[in-house]
Amino acid sequence: MEFWTDQKGRHRWRIGMAEKKEEMMEEVLEDLEKDAAEKQAEEVSEAEETETETEAAESGEQAEETEESEAEDGQEAPADEKKGFFKKKKDKKDEQIEELNDKLKRQMAEFDNFRKRTEKEKTQMYDMGAKSIIEKILPVIDNFERGLAAVPEEQREDAFVVGMDKVYRQMLTELDASGVKPIEAVGQEFDPNFHNAVMQVESEEYDSGVVAQELQKGYMYKDSVVRHSMVAVVS
């Protein structure tokens, strides 16, 4: 900066171009700084206002949520109580159903046992009746055997003898089909469950305790003895 006096005697300041540019730059910078500060202040103010509004909104939402939650709890409590009440009734009904099912199962089991027991009793009664009839038929079979055994050899071809033999064999076939079987005796070891020893004999063919002779044939019906074999055992 230069100081000088003009023609009229007035004092003047002469500012150099470089100094003038510096002053202009300083002014511009000051203006920019001022604008930036004002803008920053406005942004801070707006941010504070926004934050305040956000907090207020959040507080309001929380309050509404709390009220709604309390209201829902208030509504759900009776509903739960009501549900629990009906649930108890349902459980009682289920218990009754289960009890009835148990009773039904027990009754069905008892009926099944009764049916099996009845069938077994019927079978036993049938077997007893069958054995009673077989016992009455066996003497007839014995008489057929004795009669056929007494026929002389020369008369075995007679029509009467042949007819009697056919009747005898037919009766044996029917008894066999009904489960009646003759008991093996001769040559078997004496067994008191099947044999009835009425005498002792000497024998060179069989050992001691073996049945040597069958005096009357014994029979079994299924697994039970109808009549024991009457036998002679080797002493």
- Is the pLDDT at 150 greater than 60? The verdict is yes
Mean pLDDT to the nearest integer, 133-153: 91
**pLDDT for 59-114, tens place per residue?**
655 655 555 555 555 555 554 555 555 555 567 888 888 888 888 899 999 999 99
The residue ranking higher by pLDDT, 12 or 118, is: 118
- Is the pLDDT at 235 greater than 80? The verdict is yes
What proportion of the chain, given as a percentage, has pLDDT over 90? 36
Position 3 scores a pLDDT of: 46
Rounded CA gap, 80 and 68, in Å?
17
Answer yes or no: are the C-beta atoms of 222 and 179 closer than 8 Å: yes
Dig out the tokens for 95 from the structure.
Answer: 């218990």
> Hey, what domains does the chain have and what are their CATH numbers?
182-235 (2.30.22.10)
Rounded CA gap, 13 and 19, in Å?
12
Position 94 scores a pLDDT of: 83
Report field, pTM of the whole predicted structure over 0.75: no
Dig out the tokens for 190 from the structure.
Answer: 């004496």
Among 16-25, 32-41, 204-213, whose mean pLDDT is lowest? Answer: 16-25
pLDDT band for 232, please (50, 70, 90 cuts).
very high
List all residues 6 or more positions away from 203 whose beta carbon is below 8 Å from its beta carbon.
210, 212, 234
- Strands (DSSP E) contained in the chain are 2-5, 11-14, 180-182, 195-201, 211-216, 219-221, 224-227, 229-234
Rounded CA gap, 168 and 33, in Å?
145
Name 220's bridge partners: 181, 225
Position 193 scores a pLDDT of: 92
SS3 111: helix
Average pLDDT, the chain: 78
Dig out the tokens for 102 from the structure.
Answer: 């148990």
Give the number of other Cβ atoms within 10 Å of residue 184's Cβ. 13
Answer yes or no: are the C-beta atoms of 195 and 184 closer than 8 Å: no
DSSP state of 190: P
Name 210's bridge partners: 189
**pLDDT for 188-213, tens place per residue?**
999 999 999 999 998 888 888 999 99
Mean pLDDT to the nearest integer, 11-31: 57
Rounded CA gap, 63 and 114, in Å?
74
